[in-house]
Amino acid sequence: MAGTGLKDATAIVGIGQTAFAKHLPEDEKTLACRAVLAALDDAGIAPGEVDAVASYTMEETDEVELAKAVGFGDLTYFGKVGFGGGGSCATVAHLATAIAAGQATVGVAWRSRKRGSGPRPWTGATGQLPTPAQWTRPFGLLRPVDETAMLARRYMHEYGATRDHLFNVALACRNRANQNPAAVMYDRPLTREMYMTSRWISEPLCLFDNCLETDGASACVVVGRERARDCRRRPVYVHAAAQGLPAQHHGMVNYWNDDPLTGPSWTTARQLWKHADLTPDDVDVAQIYDGFSILVPLSLEGYGFCGRGEGGAFTEQGALETGGRLPLNTGGGGLSEGYVHGFNLITEGVRQLRGTSTAQVPGAATCLVTAGESVPTSALLLRS
């Protein structure tokens, strides 16, 4: 996927999103259609020109329904990516690969969710539990946050990371959301006292360590390099892309390997940097998956921004804020803008490289976007 033939061969030329809110009246299909149409309009491309689509396996709106509703032409590529938050960047990577290989010319990727007003998938009856859940749920690891909290506790124990380090992540995301009128938390500042006195969700992760539960949809349009030059907006090139599923990985979180804190981001990062002309030192801004705050320091280590065990300390002294060492999640991320399985991190990365973000990093020319750490994951390296 991330070979040299993909390097800068395609570009994201359109982005679109609906509002993000605790409750939206539209169903997921309608939200998907609105986001996709907005992205196509942003690119100046007619729906009938779309011949490739990519989405998540968890996406309720399938290719057939979207194609009919929006008015796509003949589709010559369609694919889906598993593992929820781990799949966001891979949807774009699959389109880029198909277009670079000549299988399609105009691709659309999207994610639509009704998580704020819809059901929680882990709350219903499950019947026979799949492996490895049969070994963990009977002992209290019922939700994604419970599984991730185990990683957080291990990380804090081994490397001396503290709740202040997690607060640094949550605060950076909230500060950027406070600059973004589209963010759910736009008008709700966060203080250290609020963070430290908030209720536990799964100790040591508190309320503000968890992503939002929102309704909403995001989408983007991918085309080849030549076509990109004629589109309405400034193209943002897919410089490199990668997916990562480590050997012997188990489900959402792997507690059974020798080192649970070396997750899928490490596998993805090796592939990503192998096929890039850039290094972590060249990244101007990052959109790092923040379903839970602890995933950010783990990802910082996995993608090579700091050494093993140094992710917590990396967050100190405003490193993640605008003007810091690595400005992070500049739209507010999943913690404070909205949560659509990380797809809004892609659209914000595009805005940064276009120069149109509400928290613009001056001169930003390279952006790393990552999907969910701890699950089989993916990443994009974008450049202007």
Span 245-258, pLDDT tens digits:
998 888 788 887 88
Better-predicted residue by pLDDT, 127 or 384: 384
Where do the H-state alpha helices sit in 15-62? Answer: 28-43
Helix or strand run (H / E) with residue 369: strand 366-370
**Angstrom distance (rounded) from CA 32 to CA 110:** 7
- Range with lowest mean pLDDT among 124-138, 166-180, 211-225, 346-360: 124-138
User: Into how many domains does the chain fold?
Assistant: 1
Where do the H-state alpha helices sit in the chain? Answer: 28-43, 63-70, 88-100, 133-136, 144-159, 163-177, 192-197, 225-228, 264-274, 295-302, 311-314, 333-336, 343-354
**Angstrom distance (rounded) from CA 36 to CA 33:** 5
What SS3 state is found at 377? strand
Tell me if residue 303 is catalytic: no
Looking at every residue in the chain, the average pLDDT score rounds to 94
- Evaluate whether 105 touches 224 at the Cβ level (below 8 Å): yes
Q: Work out the end-to-end distance of the chain between its first and last CA atoms, rounded to an integer number of angstroms.
A: 21
Instruction: Tell whether 361 is covered by a domain.
Output: yes
Q: Per-residue pLDDT tens for 303-338?
A: 999 999 999 999 999 999 999 999 999 999 999 999
Point out the catalytic residue in the list 186, 237, 289, 303.
289
Tell me if residue 195 is catalytic: no
Question: Which domain, by its residues, includes 286?
Answer: 4-118+212-383
Instruction: Tell whether 301 is covered by a domain.
Output: yes
Evaluated on CA atoms 217, 218, 223, 226, the torsion sign reads: positive
**Angstrom distance (rounded) from CA 104 to CA 346:** 21
pTM of the predicted protein model? 0.95
Instruction: Tell whether 358 is covered by a domain.
Output: yes
Q: Per-residue pLDDT tens for 118-161?
A: 766 555 545 666 667 777 888 888 899 999 999 999 999 999 99
Task: Report pLDDT for 120.
Answer: 62
Task: Report pLDDT for 2.
Answer: 47
Instruction: Tell whether 170 is covered by a domain.
Output: no
Q: What is the CA radius of gyration of the chain?
A: 19
Task: Report pLDDT for 180.
Answer: 98
Nearest alpha-carbon partner for 380 in 276, 176, 189, 242:
242
Instruction: Tell whether 239 is covered by a domain.
Output: yes
Point out the catalytic residue in the list 155, 159, 186, 339.
339
Better-predicted residue by pLDDT, 258 or 99: 99
Q: Per-residue pLDDT tens for 50-87?
A: 999 999 999 999 999 999 999 999 999 999 999 999 99
Instruction: Tell whether 149 is covered by a domain.
Output: no
Here the CATH number for the domain that contains residue 104 is 3.40.47.10
What SS3 state is found at 366? strand
Instruction: Tell whether 189 is covered by a domain.
Output: no
Instruction: Tell whether 272 is covered by a domain.
Output: yes
